[in-house]
Every structure is written in structure tokens, then in C-alpha cells.
DNA sequence: ATGAAAGCGCTAACAG
DNA sequence: CTGTTAGCGCTTTCAT
């Protein structure tokens, strides 16, 4: 398992190069203000000794860590069945890496973990946090607010309007246009001539689910008979939930001719139940999902028509916004950058037509 | 986005409690050697001030970080289609959390990232590393060896025998009994009366794929005609790869009556092709997978018979072994713990019978 | 059992 | 432009 060995310090490099520690420090950190012959000598010493700066020592004085926490709060199941988080993580990882920041992953599974996360964030171990998957009753935002850590949320927080955590004018989040995307999807079904269009919702304690439901209703209120409450069945973003909801829907409304599922996983479950019931997709019932998670949407039978959102880009953007905020509105060269946006950034969605609708 | 604020220091707590910094430090770190009335005063001061130790300062002197890097090296696709990594991550996260260690996630996508990871590991930012998904030609092990960071590998490294990175007697890894599991699966197919049993391999630059192939061969060499090379088709652990391989197999051996797929995802692809070809599972062709990733195995049609390995436990075990090694063979109370195992730990597998075989 | 003091390795004024 | 000098906040001998 290999024991760790002691590494050379700034001091050692300075001695080797015959300069002061300060000079070495300057060279190591970008090297402006050190004349060439000297700088080169230092660089060589660094290389020869294999010097790597001690981050702890550096953080102690700079109060920066070049590390960002990613907090994923999901009760058990979903995080790992859904490629969604993995994709966002990848986007985040890429962006952070590009800016020499480390990704500290904080997985939480319930109340017990909240305190731990709060303590960690408050402990000033990281420069900022990226927080996901908030549910409406989640205590995390409050804790984070207290911890006073720069934070960007993934998905519109549901508590933006209430007063639970005080002033929220400075909340930054990234989300996709859930309502608009849902609108487009349902509109598409209408244009296809469908009239009994149902919606299998996501977990309604998350804003994404609520917004998609709203988008569905936006369209349906103009459809004759479209306000039939039986057409909306609550589900939870999982394939199993999708199956359950679809079964119930078939029970309530055997005449359904289209289904807008809150995400691809839900659509997957619905597809299975539809097939089992002997209905053809899309001939008898058209199905549209949401997310366009490729491993799912491209592989269903038939391939899924769905609302695409650029998940990886969302992650990347979250990281970018956080880092921008951290650098105090200047980029690395010190040039003024765009100011951090107030409130949220909404990414566009697009309807991807495959075979299911 | 909230600006970070300055946090109370040890000094402040000491002042508040009317004691020296040393005393506060003792209380904060377990509190032995401080008499009760005093200790209590300190604890109250800590609570009142909301004191949280500065990890950077602490690391600077202790040279510990209470942080572990998780290195996942996968070219693009697989990491995120396969719930496998997510499950291991969860196991790791739980174990690390239980020991107050942080998880630093290092995702790599190709050569360019290797240098970065090596630098990070060598930089002494973390106490140890958990490394996954090595491919036979991966340069990472060598770099890690140079970095001299305590490491536990996920999956048997393929380079244990060669001399590329010098002495490897101290390599620690966790894996499941790939060969034995494969043996059991194929044996089961034989017991079912099948004779034309094929194998869709995993990516053969990974030991898990090689070992499963070996397990298959162990059984097949005793089956009449079982050594027919056409029965083995190379694939890559993905659903798409499974489809491709299954198509080729059907082409080569239309009389195949059973398939052992290298993992569940491969089986998923195979199942789709079998259905499309009009064959019934398991009546015409029995199918067995490997992994027992629930969201996949339970949801296929028909539900998949597969070889179960406890993925989350693997992750947990890796973390436990690493932490044990780090603590120098003593547990937290200072009592002697089991010595870190030499070489690998192999977890058992079990055949889970569902409907596909 | 408690306190005083000496750094851990680095950056950031400040001098020169 | 380069070197000198203070600490950053904490743990850890070493006295007491």
C-alpha cells in the first residue's frame, strides 16, 4: 500500500536555486516580477526536486482551497438509477478541472447527513458549493445559508418565495426551461391529433416536476376536455413509479391516446405497461419523455421522443458561475468578467423526435 | 451567492473559556487529559461560538487530511451508463463518512488527465487513493506508484505480474470472484440441459472480463463441442456492444441455446436482439448476466438471471482497507486492528435465478 | 492536568 | 526586482 514520503519544501527549492523563498513562491505562482535568468534557475530546481506546493500551507494563508463541494441530496434510490446526476457530475468535473479546482463529493441520504454536510461547509474546507436535488421541505438550504458558503443550486429551488431562510435575492441557480419544454411536448401531441393526453408527473416536491406539470396544463386548458383531472397521475421520476402510474392511468382512462411522462425513466416504465396491455406505441398511444438521457431514450422500444436538455452543460455552467463568483468578478488575468447573474439561468430545451410520438 | 465570513479560531474559544489554546485543542480532539469542569467550559465555548477547526491549519501540522481521492478512469461512455460505479461510490461514501473522511472525486478521460491526477496525488492533498477500472495498458498505476500514495484498487489490476512498476507485493485490491461466478453461471446453464452455450465477453483489456471468460472456459472444456471458438464473441460491457455481439453470434451459430453475458448491460443488449430475432427467452435461448445491477436485471423482459456481486460492499470494503492501512494497523481507539491484507480480497458471488435462465 | 512556545510550509507586505 | 519578516490556525513537546 506504499507509505507516503516527505516532499521537498519551498525552502529546499530556494536553497537549491540560491534564492529566497519569496522568489520561489513568485515563480511558482505565475512568475511575474522575477527576471528571466533567475526564474529559469528556480524552475529547474523545482523540476529537479519534484517540488509540489503544500496546499494546506497555502490555504492557511490565502484562505482559498481551490476546491468545490458537490452536494447531492437524494434519498437512496434515484441518484444511482438515473444517469442524470452522473452527467451533471461529468460537466462539473470538466469545468472544475479546467480551472484547477478539486471536486469534493458529498452524498447525503437523509436528515442525519445534513448536519455533517452543514458542518463541513461551515468549516471552510471548500471555496463554494454546488447543490442538487432540493426537495421543497429540505432543510439544507437554510443550513447552507447559515454556513455562508457561496453556492449555486442545480434546479430552481422551491423556497425562493418564502421567508424560511431570509433574503433570497442572491440565490443563484441553473435550470432548464421545464415549463416551456413541457409545453412544447404537449403541443406536439396535440398537433399529432391526440386529444386524451395524460401526464405522469415527477415527484411533486421538486420544482422541476411542478414546472413540467404547469407546462402540461398551459396547453391542456385550451384542449376540449383537457382539464380532466384523471389524466394527471402522480409519479416519482422512477421506472417503477412510471409503471405504477401508467397502470393506474389505464384503469382510469382506457381511452388515453397520448402520454407525456415527466422524465425518460418514467416513460420507460410507461412503455412497458403499455406493451403489456397490448397497446401499440405510437399508433394507439403516443409517448413523450423528458431529459433525453441517451442510454435510456435511444434504447427504448420504440425509441423515445423526448424533450432534450443539455445536462452536462448544466453542470458545466453551474461550476462556471460558481468559480466566476468566487474570483470576485474577474477572470484569472484580472480582467473584468461578466458579473455573476442575479437569480437563475434557464437553459433552453428542444424536442427530439424519435419513434414514440 | 453569499460571501464567506471569518470564522472563530481556537484562540477565540480559548479566550472565551478562559483557558489556553492547548487545552481547547485537547478537548476538540477527543478531550483526554482535561478535567471535567474545564472540558465542559470549553465545549460550551465551542458551541456558543460555532467553532469549527480549520482543516488547513490542522493538516499543516498533522500531515493528515482526512480525505481520500477516488480515481475513476473510464473513457467517456461507460462510467455513466453503468450503475456500477455509482453503487461503488455510494459504498465508499458511506464508509468514508463514517470515519470522517472526505471524498475527492477525480474523473479522468484519457491520457491528458493522467498527468493531472498524478500531480494531485503526488501533491499530498489526500491521505490515500481508491482507483478504479484499470485497463491493461493504463499508465496510471505506474504514476501512482511513483506518487507513493497509499492506494487500494477496485478490481484486480492486470499488471500484477509484470515488472512495469517494480515490486508489486504490496498491491492491495478488492474484487469479486469473477472466475468462480462465471463458472457457476455456465454450470447452471449446463445443468439446464443446454449445450450450445455462448459467451459474450466484456472488454478484454480488463481483468474482470478475462476472468469471466476463464470461468466460462473452465466449464465448457468438459462439455462436448464446448470449445467451439465461434461460441465466444468479444464485446465491451455496454448494451450496444451486447447487441452487436449477439447479432454476430446469431450469425455464426444460429443453433445457440444459451448465452452467458459478461455483465447485465451486455445481457440487456443481447435480450433485445434475441427478441427481435423472434427467439423466446428462456425457451429457445437461456440468458445469464453478471453483476445483478437491480435497475437493469429486475427490469428486463424477462427478468434476468444473473450472477450477483455486492457492488456497494466492494466500495465499502475498499475504503475500509485503505483507512485501516492509513491508521497504521490500529483502530481509532488505538487498539490493534487486523493487519491490512496482502494482495487482494475476493468477494463471493451468488447466482440469482429469475426468469431468463 | 494545564500552559507556554515552537514551528508546520507558505504568501504577502514591506524594505532595500 | 529580490530578500526579510511576519504571521495564517493549529498541534505538540516541554515545562510547570
pLDDT, tens digit (0-9, with 9 covering 90-100), for A116-163: 888 888 888 899 999 987 788 888 888 888 888 899 999 998 765 544
The string of pLDDT tens digits covering residues A214-241 is 999 999 999 999 999 999 999 999 999 9
Residue B132 is predicted with a pLDDT of 87
Q: What is the spatial distance between Cα B280 and Cα B125, in angstroms, rounded to a whole number? A: 55
The residue whose grid cell reads 478521460 is: B109
Exposure string over A302-330, b if 16+ CB within 10 A, otherwise e: eebbbbbbbbbbbbbbbbbbbbbbbbeee
Q: What is the spatial distance between Cα B103 and Cα A70, in angstroms, rounded to a whole number? A: 10
Residue B329 is predicted with a pLDDT of 45
Residue A297 is predicted with a pLDDT of 86
Q: Pairing relation of β-strands B350-352 and B305-308?
A: antiparallel
Contact (CB<8Å) A1/B57: no
Size of interface A-B (CB pairs under 8 A): 157
In chain B (357 residues long), the average pLDDT of successive 10-residue segments reads 70 93 93 86 93 92 94 69 82 93 90 84 89 82 84 84 51 95 98 97 95 98 94 95 97 97 95 96 97 85 95 96 77 45 88 97
Name the least confident of A15-19, A37-41, B72-76: B72-76
Span between the terminal Cα atoms of chain B, in Å: 55
User: Does an H or E element contain A72, and which?
Assistant: strand A67-73
Most confident segment among A4-13, A336-345, B22-31, B162-171: B22-31
For A79, name the nearest residue in chain B, comparing CA atoms only. B86
**Measured from the CB, is A59 under 7 Å from any atom of strand C?**
no
Residue A163 is predicted with a pLDDT of 42
For B275, name the nearest residue in chain A, comparing CA atoms only. A301
The string of pLDDT tens digits covering residues A46-58 is 999 989 999 999 9
Residue with the bigger pLDDT between A39 and B295: it is: A39
What residue is closest to C11 (Cα–C1')? Answer: A61
Q: Which nucleotides of C are covered by protein (CB under 7 A)?
A: 1-13
pLDDT-derived band at A33, boundaries 50, 70, 90: confident
- The pTM of this model reads 0.89
**Measured from the CB, is B61 under 7 Å from any atom of strand D?**
yes
Residue B103 is predicted with a pLDDT of 96
Residue B325 is predicted with a pLDDT of 87
Q: What is the spatial distance between Cα A252 and Cα A233, in angstroms, rounded to a whole number? A: 10
Mean pLDDT of chain A: 88
pLDDT > 60? residue A330: no
Compute the nearest-CA separation of A56 from chain B (Å): 5
Q: What is the spatial distance between Cα B311 and Cα B292, in angstroms, rounded to a whole number? A: 9
Amino acid at each position: 500500500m506504499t507509505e507516503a514520503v516527505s516532499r521537498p519544501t519551498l525552502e529546499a527549492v530556494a536553497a537549491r536555486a540560491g534564492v529566497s523563498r519569496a522568489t520561489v513562491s513568485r515563480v511558482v505562482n505565475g512568475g511575474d516580477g522575477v527576471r528571466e535568468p533567475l526564474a529559469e534557475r528556480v524552475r529547474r530546481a523545482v523540476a529537479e526536486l519534484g517540488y509540489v506546493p503544500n496546499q494546506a500551507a497555502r490555504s492557511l494563508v490565502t484562505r482559498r482551497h481551490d476546491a468545490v463541494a458537490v452536494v447531492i441530496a437524494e434519498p437512496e434510490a434515484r441518484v444511482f438509477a438515473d444517469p442524470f446526476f452522473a452527467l451533471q457530475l461529468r460537466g462539473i468535473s470538466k469545468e472544475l478541472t479546467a480551472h484547477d479546482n478539486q471536486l469534493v463529493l458529498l452524498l447525503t441520504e437523509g436528515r442525519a447527513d445534513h448536519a455533517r454536510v452543514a458542518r463541513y461547509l461551515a468549516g471552510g474546507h471548500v471555496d463554494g458549493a454546488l447543490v442538487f436535488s432540493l426537495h421543497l421541505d429540505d432543510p439544507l438550504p437554510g443550513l447552507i445559508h447559515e454556513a455562508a458558503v457561496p453556492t449555486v443550486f442545480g434546479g430552481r429551488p422551491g423556497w425562493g418565495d418564502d421567508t424560511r431562510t431570509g433574503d433570497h435575492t442572491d440565490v443563484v441557480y441553473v435550470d432548464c426551461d421545464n415549463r416551456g419544454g413541457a409545453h412544447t411536448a404537449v403541443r406536439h401531441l396535440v398537433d399529432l391529433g391526440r386529444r386524451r393526453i395524460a401526464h405522469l408527473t415527477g415527484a411533486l416536491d421538486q420544482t422541476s416536476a411542478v414546472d413540467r406539470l404547469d407546462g402540461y396544463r398551459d396547453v391542456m386548458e385550451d384542449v376540449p376536455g383537457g382539464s380532466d383531472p384523471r389524466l394527471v397521475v402522480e409519479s416519482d421520476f422512477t421506472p417503477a413509479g412510471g409503471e405504477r402510474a401508467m397502470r393506474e392511468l389505464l384503469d382510469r382512462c382506457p381511452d388515453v391516446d397520448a402520454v407525456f411522462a415527466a422524465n425518460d425513466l418514467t416513460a420507460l416504465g410507461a412503455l412497458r405497461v403499455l406493451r403489456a396491455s397490448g397497446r401499440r406505441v405510437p399508433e394507439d398511444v403516443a409517448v413523450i419523455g423528458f431529459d433525453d438521457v441517451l442510454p435510456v431514450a435511444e434504447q427504448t422500444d420504440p425509441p423515445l421522443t423526448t424533450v432534450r436538455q443539455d445536462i452536462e452543460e448544466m453542470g458545466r455552467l453551474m461550476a462556471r458561475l460558481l468559480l466566476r463568483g468566487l474570483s470576485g468578478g474577474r477572470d484569472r488575468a484580472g480582467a473584468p468578467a461578466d458579473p455573476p447573474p442575479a437569480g437563475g439561468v434557464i437553459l433552453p430545451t428542444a424536442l427530439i423526435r424519435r419513434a414514440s410520438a
